[in-house]
Chain A
Amino acid sequence: MEAISHAGTVLGVLATDGVVLAAEKKVTGKLLDLSASKEGGYGGSGEKIFLLNSNVIGGVAGLTADANSLVNYARSAAQEHLLNYNEDIPVELLAQRLCDLKQGYTQYGGLRPFGVSLLYAGYDPHYQFQLYHSDPSGNYSGWKATCIGANNGTAQSLLKQEYKDDITVEDAIGLVMRTMSKTMDSTTLGSEKLEFATLTLDPVTKEPKAKIYRPSEVDVLLKKFDLAKKDEDAEMKTA
């Protein structure tokens, strides 16, 4: 629990036509090689936001190694469901599967629980778009907007003030961006500190479409909301 309250903030907002997820990356620095996160078939840059199944995106806060293990388990559970039932796993069922695993580690001695909280943003035909949160004890609950990690109290109260029940994905992206910029420790935002993802319905196929933004796309989004890091050199020149 302690590790989670220090972990990078992960924020989720449920909209009428989709779900939005954003996360603050903690592991950064000039010398960190980020080239891998720019390329690749996009399942995420591999720190905070992961594609768990074609209809569910997960955001993690806590011990990274534990989180990787849980993400792996979630992906297996989702594929197992696909094998047995030939359908995408319902979002709540996936959350339940992980919570059953997490709960097990609170019951028996000698083993350490997973130090991870997760947000699940997903879609299924039963309850349409959904947002769930699970903690290390194996408790889970559904939310309209919620936040885990550092400063989650501040973010939560900001969300409570600004959230409206008929919010669209477009507005939700704005809400998430504004809330993120206020809660994050750093004053300026950039793609090296932020991960971002949305889950919507494909207008043609009506199938869920998960989009985890690439670093370049995150920068475009930040510029759109005027939260991007100002080019310091440019400022110096004009001064």
Chain B
Amino acid sequence: MQKILMKGNDAVAEAAVQAGCNLYFGYPITPQTEISEYLSRRLPDTGGVFLQAESEIGAIYMVYGAAAAGKRVMTSSSGPGFSLKQEGISYLCSAELPCVLVNISRGGPGLGNIQPSQADYFQAVKGGGHGDYRVLVLAPCSVQELVDLTYLAFYLADKYRNPVEILGDGMLGQMMEPVVFRNPDYPDISKEEWVITGKKTRERRIILCFALDPKELEKLNLHLAEKYAEMERSEVLYEVYGSEQPELLLVGYGTVGRILKSVVREAEKQGIRLALVRPVTLYPFPKEILRGQARKAGKALVVEMNLGQMVEDVKLSVEGDVPVYFHGRSGGMIPTVEEIMHRVEEILLKGGEARENNL
């Protein structure tokens, strides 16, 4: 297989095309505009449609329409633009329409800035829009993983008839790395049962995102809950790295997950045994492996590029068995190996005396 040097944003776009997505609706926003630019050149070759919408809100409902009509479709944005799509995402979940959403996130809140950040974790995994819904959230840590998870995202979207979000950050979107495009050929999922195509021989199709009768709406929501339970049973992805007998467990996803690998190696040089759990799916969250690893290590340190979001899910996962410490940088600041090592030493030396977080 040929290795190509490619920017993260371009790589997501190419992987989407290879996954059979030939519809894209978006609106420019830094640091992800290259996704649009790439697809505006690439999609016409595939007989597809690229459209720059009047706003992110316009774009997400174009996604709704294209998904209802049965096509693989994607939109992408960043921070403030992704917030504008939240209403549509709630509707897509309710109407059970498959699509792929890419958030190359940046510093917040508000307009924030255009530097890499993990400030959108809560929005992604807790439902940034209204209602009781879940979006499958995939968190790549390299350009290669951006590609591999993009193929997977389209498959999972069809499998569950549910939006799938790829949560990257400005660093992943902007950096160039060698990448191999290996389309895994996931099975095709038939959409015959629900799709609107105008087929002559069948009854009209209705795609709704509401049920006014409370009994009906509860039935719909319980059906969605079954899907979410199935995702939690079948789709959890994570990476475990480092020592088999760790003194401390590190937890971080995406860009931070990579930095934590360097921390594990640096610690090893100093004779400190660390292990890392890097969640790859943020929803469903890898609770069980975290609980097991945290118990083994006796304490855990969560590192994020925000003020402390995933740390709540780690605490829920370990169910109070071990102390969970936090180290966070925000506003586009990126934690360094040195500062994390400092934190690790502090926790290992002071134990119960160590500060719970660095903020």
**A and B: bona fide binding partners:** no
Q: List the interface of chain A (C-beta within 8 A of B).
A: none
